């Protein structure tokens, strides 16, 4: 049995490798100006079933879309580039095998490259987009003149966004010659080594009643719609509608998505304000490397931990420090809440209910979280000296 399993795995990998090279052939065909359908047919004959996945995706692009210089041609180039990145990530074992883009997924997107002024900001109210022409939009920020890509994205609440990728050099923030250590917690989202704490705001609880109100209606209307579909199929009364054609179900689904989006936007806005303030006030920021996946196994705290968005906070600090010329260090949080930041004495493991303690060695009184943030800062300073 083991030999058979190994053989199947090796055959699967070979098919996927053949599929990857089929994409390379297709890319050469697009660049060289050959008909994409002919290249796909040739890759099907040579690659076999292994090339089915990439070929099926590229088959959606017609000859007219790839021959011209409009939005369709640039979209095909972006599609091929994304496929190469996806397969490159798979073969480097950083990502899973590429999957098809589902039409049922609530967030849909379309990307196009900036070519021959196919993307243009006309004024503060109108924008020119590939394939769509001049569209009305809302924007409060100034947009740089150099635009590289545009992504048209539809949210789960049926709102459309034009995401522009631009070239811009951010202004460097003034140096403060300050360093800070950050401990992330549950009752307080961020605890700084200087004693400052940023409180946790449960945005999900603020809108919980309204969201739950529509979640109940969504579940009930979905059950009623499915029951109606099965009844019509059984007795053949009329052509049964699909679930998406029941307006009451769609309305409830849209309202649930609306409250979920509002909660996510409020949380993201709060994280942006915290990270911006930290980057402005400090030149070096030291944070702990938390394994959120392991912490979520605690079912009593899993919902609160998921609401904290520690990973998103870390990502914001990473790119903002890179933008504004600040330094971010990530350290191992091992025993940071047990060791005295004043004398280095290890007092052993403390339960989560112990929020304050006195050091038996130097008799100093510690706040658990502030002491942990000071230890995180000390570890970061040691690493900075070594580097």
For residue 120, the SS3 value is: strand
Return the closest-CA partner of residue 31 out of 82, 77, 71.
77
Exposure string over 174-200, b if 16+ CB within 10 A, otherwise e: eeeeebbbbbbbeebbbbbbeeebbeb
pLDDT of residue 72: 57
Cβ neighbours of residue 122 under 8 Å, at least 6 residues apart?
128, 134
Cβ neighbours of residue 88 under 8 Å, at least 6 residues apart?
none
Going residue by residue through the chain (387 aa), what tens digit of pLDDT does each one get? 443 433 333 333 333 333 433 333 333 333 333 333 343 344 435 444 444 434 444 444 444 444 334 455 666 677 777 777 877 888 888 888 777 777 777 778 888 888 888 888 888 889 998 888 899 988 888 888 888 889 899 998 989 999 999 888 888 899 999 999 999 999 899 999 999 999 999 999 999 999 999 999 999 999 999 999 999 888 887 777 889 899 999 999 999 999 999 999 999 999 999 999 999 999 999 999 988 888 888 888 888 888 899 999 999 999 999 999 999 999 999 999 889 999 999 988 888 888 899 999 998 999 999 999 999 999 999 988 876
Strands (E), the chain: 108-113, 120-121, 126-129, 133-136, 147-154, 160-166, 179-184, 188-192, 197-199, 284-288, 327-331, 356-358, 365-367
pLDDT of residue 195: 92
pLDDT of residue 262: 95
Return the closest-CA partner of residue 109 out of 169, 74, 156, 77.
156
pLDDT of residue 84: 77
d(CA 146, CA 189): 38
For residue 140, the SS3 value is: coil
Model pTM? Answer: 0.77
Return the closest-CA partner of residue 179 out of 326, 324, 76.
326
pLDDT of residue 190: 96
In order of 124, 359, 367, 376, 387, the CA distances from 339 in angstroms are: 56, 9, 12, 11, 24
Q: Which residues pair with 285 in a beta bridge?
A: 180, 328
Q: What is the dihedral of CA 224, 228, 231, 235, to 10 degrees?
A: 170
Return the closest-CA partner of residue 41 out of 32, 33, 29.
29
d(CA 298, CA 290): 14
Return the closest-CA partner of residue 91 out of 178, 20, 185, 183.
20
| Backbone dihedral angles phi then psi of residue 264, each to the nearest 5 degrees | -65, -40
């Amino acid at each position: 049995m083991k030999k058979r399993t190994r053989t199947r795995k090796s055959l699967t990998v070979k098919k996927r490798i053949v599929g990857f090279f089929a994409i390379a052939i297709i890319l050469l065909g697009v660049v060289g100006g050959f008909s994409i359908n002919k290249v796909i047919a040739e890759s099907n004959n040579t690659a076999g079933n292994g090339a089915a996945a990439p070929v099926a995706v590229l088959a959606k692009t017609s000859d007219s879309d790839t021959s011209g210089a409009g939005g369709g041609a640039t979209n095909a180039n972006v599609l091929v580039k994304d496929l190469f990145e996806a397969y490159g990530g798979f073969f480097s074992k950083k990502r899973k095998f590429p999957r098809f883009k589902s039409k049922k997924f609530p967030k849909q997107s379309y990307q196009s490259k900036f070519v021959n002024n196919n993307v243009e900001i006309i004024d503060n109210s109108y924008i020119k987009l590939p394939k769509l022409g001049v569209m009305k939009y809302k924007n409060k920020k100034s947009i740089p003149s150099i635009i590289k890509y545009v992504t048209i994205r539809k949210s789960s609440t049926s709102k459309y966004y034009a995401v522009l990728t631009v070239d811009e050099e951010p202004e460097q923030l003034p140096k403060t010659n300050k360093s800070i250590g950050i401990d992330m917690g549950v009752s307080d989202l961020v605890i700084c080594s200087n004693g400052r704490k940023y409180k946790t705001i449960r945005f999900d609880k603020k809108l919980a009643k309204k969201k739950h109100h529509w979640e109940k209606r969504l579940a009930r209307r979905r059950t009623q719609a499915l029951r109606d579909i099965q009844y019509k199929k059984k007795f053949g009364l009329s052509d049964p509608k699909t679930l998406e054609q029941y307006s009451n179900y769609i309305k409830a689904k849209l309202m649930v998505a609306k409250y979920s989006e509002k909660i996510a936007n409020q949380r993201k806005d709060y994280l942006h304000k915290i990270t911006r303030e930290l980057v402005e006030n400090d030149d070096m920021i030291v944070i702990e490397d938390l394994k959120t996946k392991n912490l979520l196994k605690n079912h009593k705290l899993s919902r609160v931990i998921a609401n904290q968005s520690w990973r998103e906070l870390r990502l914001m600090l990473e790119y903002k420090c890179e933008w504004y010329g600040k330094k971010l260090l990530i350290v191992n949080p091992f025993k940071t809440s047990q060791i005295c930041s004043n004398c280095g004495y290890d007092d052993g493991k403390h339960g989560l209910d112990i929020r304050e303690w006195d050091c038996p060695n130097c008799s100093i009184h510690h706040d658990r979280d502030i002491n942990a943030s000071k230890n995180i800062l000390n570890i970061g300073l040691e690493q900075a000296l070594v580097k």
